[in-house]
Structure formats: C-alpha cells, structure tokens
C-alpha cells in the first residue's frame, strides 16, 4: 500500500465515521468549531502522527532500495545472492505494510481522542446552557419570594427554600462553567491553539447516535477482516510463505536447514495470527457489552426526561392556578433541567461508543 492509497483510506475512514461533519468542517469561520475540524487540527498537531508518517516514509525508502538492489543483482547475473535478490525485498515490503497499517491505526486513535475531547466540550457546554436557563428562572423566583416575604404574602420558610434553591443552582452553574473552561483548554491544547480561546458556536447537528446497532457476530466478523493487528500478522505470514516457496525450489547446500527454519517461522506467524484473532474477539465481545449498556442508558434517560418534562408541564399548570407552592414548581423545573443534562450526556456517550466500536471493527484502534 503506497502513500496515495493510505491517504485515500484515511479519508474514507473519516467519511464513514461522520460524513455530515466533514461538510461542517469546511466552514472557514474561525469562531465556530465542529468535531471534524477538531480532529483534523489535532491530527496535524500530533507528534505521534508526525512520527508515524516519518516511519512510513523511511520504510518506503528501504523497500525501494531493496527492490533496486535486487534488480541490480539479477542484472549482474548474481541470482545466487538469495538474501539480496529475494529475502530483502520481501522483508522490506512486509515492514512497509506494517508501518502503513500502524499509521492508519495511530491516525484513527488520535481522531478518536479528538472526538472524545469535543464530546467533553459539548457536555460541559450543554450543562452550562441548561443550568444557566434554570438559574435565571430560580433567581427571578428568589427575588419574587423575598419581595413576598417583605409584604407578608409568603412564609419565611418558603422564602428561605427559594433562596436555597437559587444558591444551589448558582453553585452548580459555577462548577459547570469551570468544567467548560477546562474542556476548552484541553481541546485547544490538542489542536495547538491558544488555550484560552473560546468559540461562538459548537456545531453538533450531526452527532446523533443510531438507534439500532449491529449484532455482536457482525461486529466480530468485520473486526476479523479489517483489524490492523490481523492485517499485520497476515502480512508477516504471507512474507514467510513467499520465502518458503523460494527455499523449496532453490539448490543450496544448506537446503534442509533453511526449509526447517522458514517452516518454523511460518508456524510461529500462524500462531501469532490466531492469537490476534482470539484477542480481538474477546475485546469486541467486552466492548459490545459496554456499547449495549450505553444504548440502554440512553433509552432510560429518555424515559426519565420525558417523565420529568411531563411533571414540569403539569406543575406549571398547577402553579399558574395557585394549587401548588412556588417551591414545588421550582423542584419540578430543576428536575427537568437535570434530566435534560443526563439525557444529553447519555446520547453523546452512546454516539462516542458507536464510533469507537466502528473503529475497533475496522482497522483500529482497539477498545483497550
């Protein structure tokens, strides 16, 4: 696989994970941020990716040099130089394939890390916005309660409850704002930007988890075909088999020694391939449990939010008709806000786990 094919493969991977976000990332407005823009900038700034690219380029040069040396040896009629003519190109090609696969896996790994940071930023931003709206409502309610207390139309205990509700909400908002500042610093650092930079808008319209996931068997089948560990192990096995075919047809005094040596290496490569398959099956099985758990949590949080929203709407009608106290209404409003935050978090967690599983059943990285 050459560099051009590698780049094509990487672009295809981005499109499969979040095709809609690629369009959003084309927006040149520096005051907005979306998940793909985050990933692209993080990848460009990653020392790991820069090192991987350099390693792939070096391996490619080694391969070209090995092929050139082999051609020279053959043109000189030195077919007896088996190592130069046969083994070196095979070994160099295998090495190049290994580094190409590793570069793809590392790129996906950095991309997922960038996705995780953007999800954390969204969570913090959602929480601040929802809590701020609630806080404004509780502040107004507290101001009203204190005025009612001064003219004797509300008890001191009820006025105090309104004040406590507001103070608790304000404290929670402060903590959410600190988390948001931390998330901004984290994501800007990964992208190589000023850590204090904030954005006018976070584009999230395409971060929507699918409602139905594939079966465990389907995930495992995909992983056994595409995972980087298996691709690399298969490449090594294929290289050893090529050497073995040459050894079987060669006329050399140490024929039996080389045949036995290569057969041993083939057996070991086959064993490594089978171990990789077993480990990946176990990994996907465990990861599937986590994914199913996230899907179930999202369903439960949707039920909780629907109930909290219904309770809030009912409480608002009762409060407008003076059949419940203001604090009973504010409790329902607070419960709705908390359920809304929990639902958003569950949806984002489910989406991220789906992306991780898609990568783990593709070339990688794995779920560890």
Which residue segments constitute the domains of the chain, with CATH numbers given? Answer: 213-368 (1.20.1600.10)
Higher model confidence: residue 33 or residue 240?
A: 33
Q: Quickly state the pLDDT bin for 83 (edges 50, 70, 90).
A: low
The reported pLDDT for the residue numbered 255 is 67
In the predicted structure, residue 179 carries a pLDDT above the cut 80? yes
For the chain, give the mean pLDDT: 86
| pLDDT tens column, 99-132 | 999 999 999 999 999 999 999 999 999 999 999 9
Which pLDDT value is given to residue 295? 97
User: Is the predicted pLDDT of residue 72 greater than 70, yes or no?
Assistant: yes
- List, for residues 333-356, the tens digit of each pLDDT value: 999 999 999 999 999 999 999 999
Percent of the chain residues topping a pLDDT of 70: 85
The first and second tokens of residue 250, run together, are 């060669």
Q: How many CA atoms lie within 13 A of 197 on its CB side?
A: 17
Q: How far is CA 57 from CA 68, 95, 151, 210, in A?
A: 17, 11, 80, 38
pTM of the model: 0.83
Q: What is the 3-state secondary structure (H, E, C) of 299-352?
A: HHHHHHHHHHHHHHHHHHHHHHCCCCCHHHHHHHHHHHHHHHHHHHHHHHHHHH
Confidence of residue 65 (pLDDT cuts 50, 70, 90): confident
- Over the stretch 242-294, which tens digit does the pLDDT of each residue have? 877 776 666 566 667 777 878 888 999 999 999 999 999 999 999 999 999 99
């Amino acid at each position: 696989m050459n560099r051009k094919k590698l780049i094509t493969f990487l672009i295809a991977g981005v499109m499969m994970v979040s095709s809609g976000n690629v369009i959003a990332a084309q927006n040149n407005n520096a005051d907005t941020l979306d998940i793909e823009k985050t990933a692209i900038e993080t990848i460009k700034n990653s020392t790991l990716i820069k090192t991987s690219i350099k390693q792939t380029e070096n391996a490619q040069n080694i391969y070209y040099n090995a092929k050139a040396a082999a051609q020279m040896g053959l043109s000189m009629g030195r077919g007896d130089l088996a190592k130069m003519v046969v083994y070196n190109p095979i070994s160099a090609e295998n090495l190049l394939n290994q580094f190409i696969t590793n570069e793809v896996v590392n790129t996906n790994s950095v991309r997922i890390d960038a996705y995780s940071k953007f999800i954390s930023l969204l969570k913090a931003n959602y929480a601040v916005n929802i809590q701020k709206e609630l806080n404004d409502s509780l502040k107004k309610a507290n101001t009203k309660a204190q005025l009612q207390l001064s003219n004797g139309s509300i008890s001191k205990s009820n006025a105090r409850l309104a004040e406590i509700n507001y103070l608790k909400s304000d404290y929670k908002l402060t903590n959410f704002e600190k988390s948001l500042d931390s998330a901004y610093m984290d994501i800007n650092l990964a992208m190589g930007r000023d850590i204090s930079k904030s954005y006018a808008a976070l584009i999230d319209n395409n971060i929507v988890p699918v409602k139905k996931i594939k079966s465990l068997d389907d995930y495992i089948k995909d992983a056994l075909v595409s995972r980087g560990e298996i691709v690399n192990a298969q490449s090594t096995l294929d290289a050893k088999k090529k050497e073995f075919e040459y050894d079987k047809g060669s006329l050399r005094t140490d024929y039996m020694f080389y045949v036995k040596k290569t057969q041993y290496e083939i057996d070991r490569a086959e064993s490594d391939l089978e171990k990789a398959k077993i480990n990946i099956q176990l990994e996907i099985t465990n990861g599937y449990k986590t994914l199913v758990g996230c899907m179930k949590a999202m369903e439960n949080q949707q039920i909780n939010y629907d109930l909290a929203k219904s309770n809030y709407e009912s409480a608002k009608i009762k409060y407008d008709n003076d059949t419940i106290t203001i604090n009973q209404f504010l409790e329902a409003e607070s419960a709705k806000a908390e359920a809304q935050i929990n639902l958003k978090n569950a949806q984002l967690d489910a989406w991220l786990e789906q992306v991780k599983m898609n990568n783990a059943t593709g070339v990688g990285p794995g779920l560890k």
